[in-house]
Amino acid sequence: MSKVKTKSKIELLAQSYRDSGIKGVVINVWLYLLEHSVVAPFVEKLLGKTYHQKLISFPTLGYWPNIRSPRSLNEKIMHRMLFTDKDLYSKVADKWRVREYVNKKVGDQILNDVYYVTDDPETIPFDDLPQKFVIKPTHSCGNVIIVEDKDSINFGDIKESCKIWMNTKYGDNTNEYWYQDIKPQIIIEEYIDSGERKAPLDYKFFVFHGNVQFIQVDFGRFSQHKMTLYSKDWEVLDFKKGYPRGPDLEQPSDLEQMIKIAETLGEDFDFARVDMYNPEEGEIRFGEITLAPGAGHSGFDPVQADFEIGKYW
């Protein structure tokens, strides 16, 4: 089977209801109107980028953000999106070029195998690909096709999805300007087999000035989304971030090594989130480097946690 992480508006609303009830539906409608609808560019032009960004984030943050003089984590993320301009951001956000950065910093042993990279989906050599693989656009975040059985997929449908990705400009409506400077390509990568788990656990390390301050683990991202936050010492933290708390996990077998890698990859930034997988003991795989988690509107519960974490930055 294959999974395409690109859902219709109705499916997204249903997912929001399962995750957060009616509040989640209202918030997602609000975000769609201000970020993705046909009127969004006109609203942004009328209000200006800063005020427009405040309106986008207010319902989920639970406070009116101060973007020009930021204090919280989310305020500082929005400040980064609106008031910085760094070429390195585009390099590490590019699913293809980031591999060069990772190799230079920590070596290529944590990089997945890449089977094919192209700017023309019609050239994808499906016959030469293994039975399982993963397809992503290099110039966006959150879009992925997971192929678990090549014999059951429709190659034409996948090519059409890839063409849509290639013709879509990412980052403009969310103010993540670094995506706009990435050459659109399709990258086909190794499938990470996690054994009994349907998908490998994704460990997200929040790195501030080269130091991991906390770790996020997500559950049920395609059903009922939950999230658990841990300290560097793998103690469950007493706040939530956007979603209900998930089940407690045993400390990953290679936590110390993953922390070391995350801090090395994040040392060139005042803040970056470094994602990795640890499907089995001794095996660490790089996921991505994220510069604006939640695009600055991933709220905390309690709200004060947003401001406490902001002090690390």
pLDDT at 21 (0 to 100): 60
Whether residue 9 lies inside any domain: the answer is no
Query: Could you tell me if residue 286 is inside a domain?
Result: yes
Residue 171's pLDDT band (boundaries 50, 70, 90)?
A: confident
Q: What is the mean pLDDT of residues 87-98?
A: 97
pLDDT tens for each residue of 55-67: 999 999 999 999 9
Mean pLDDT to the nearest integer, 41-48: 90
Domain total of the chain = 1
The answer as to whether 34 is a domain residue is no
Across the range 141-160, mean pLDDT stands at 93
**33, exposed or middle or buried, with CB in 10 Å at 0-12, 13-18, 19+?**
middle
In a domain? residue 265: yes
Q: What is the CA radius of gyration of the chain?
A: 19
Q: Is residue 207 part of a domain?
A: yes
**Could you give the CA distance from residue 171 to residue 15 in angstroms, rounded to a whole number?**
23
Q: What DSSP line would sit under 226-292, residue for residue?
A: EEEEE-TTSPBPS-EESS-B----PPPTTHHHHHHHHHHHTTTSSEEEEEEEEEETTEEEEEEEESS
* pLDDT, tens only, 174-211: 899 999 999 999 999 999 987 666 667 889 999 999 99
Q: Which residue has the tokens 């989920």?
A: 60
Give the pLDDT band (50/70/90) at residue 4. very low
Contact at 8 Å (CB) between 78 and 53?
Answer: yes
Strand 133-137 and strand 211-219: pairing?
unpaired
Instruction: Report the 10 Å Cβ neighbour count for 124.
Output: 19
What confidence category does residue 255 fall into, taking pLDDT thresholds of 50, 70 and 90? very high
Per the structure, the complete domain to which residue 202 belongs is given by: 87-310
How do residues 223-254 score in pLDDT, each as one tens digit? Answer: 667 889 999 999 999 998 877 788 889 999 89
Find out whether 152 and 132 touch, Cβ atoms under 8 Å.
no
> Would you say residue 234 lies in a domain?
yes
Question: Which residue in 77, 89, 92, 57 sits closest to 312, CA to CA?
Answer: 77
Element (H, E) at 52: helix 49-61
CA of residue 18 relative to chain centroid, distance = 20
Is the pLDDT reported for residue 133 higher than 90? yes
Q: Kindly report the CATH number assigned to the domain that includes residue 101.
A: 3.30.470
In-domain check, residue 249: yes
Tell me, rounded to whole angstroms, the distance of Cα 299 from its chain centroid.
15
What single DSSP character describes residue 34? I
Q: Is 175 left (phi over 0), alpha (psi -120 to 50) or beta?
A: left
Tell me how far apart the alpha carbons of residues 189 and 187 are, in angstroms, rounded to a whole number: 6
Please, what is the average pLDDT of the chain? 90
In this structure, is residue 297 part of a structural domain? Answer: yes
198: phi then psi, degrees, rounded to nearest 5: -65, -35
Confidence of residue 13 (pLDDT cuts 50, 70, 90): very low
Of 2, 63, 5, 1, which Cα lies nearest the Cα of 225? 5
CA distance 299 to 92: 25
